[in-house]
Amino acid sequence: MLYQINPEWAINLPEGFRYHSEGSHLVFWRRGWTIITTIYAYTNEKKRQVLIANLRAKAQANQLEVIEEPGHEIYRLGYLQPEAIKPGHTRLALHAFTAGLHSCLQTSLYLDRPSDLKAALKIWQAVDFTPQEL
């Protein structure tokens, strides 16, 4: 199902997700999954490149696996981060950033089962960006 987050950004999720907003975040969830989306705005390509460089540096400083797909209209950068929830229980987080021309959609996907990573990557790849005139 396609969810239009704002005029520029939409996310396509499989059936069964519920959602609500928390401040500037749109939160989707179903058993074993939580997805939090946030949109950041910037004014020009230089600021987009600074954002991407800062995200890459943060992930590398923490020795996290980085996934990167450069592009002009959208630039994708994400990293994988295991998170200890409680003793004996770790979940996998995919912090995925899709940087458009003047805004970035952060999609943080929290997975109870690491085997869901392939499906999470497909969701990130299906993020839809429709540039708006400034």
The full set of domains in the chain, from first to last, is: 2-129 (3.40.1000.10)
Tens digits of residue pLDDT in 37-83? 999 999 999 999 999 999 999 999 999 999 999 998 999 999 999 99
Whole-number Å distance between alpha carbons of 102 and 42: 5
Q: Which residues contact 7 (CB under 8 A, 6 or more apart)?
A: 130, 132
Q: Give the pLDDT of residue 89.
A: 83
Q: Residue 87 above 90 pLDDT?
A: no
pLDDT (mean) for 96-125 = 96
Token couple for 8: 């520029």
pTM of the model: 0.92
Whole-number Å distance between alpha carbons of 20 and 127: 18
pLDDT (mean) for 11-29 = 96
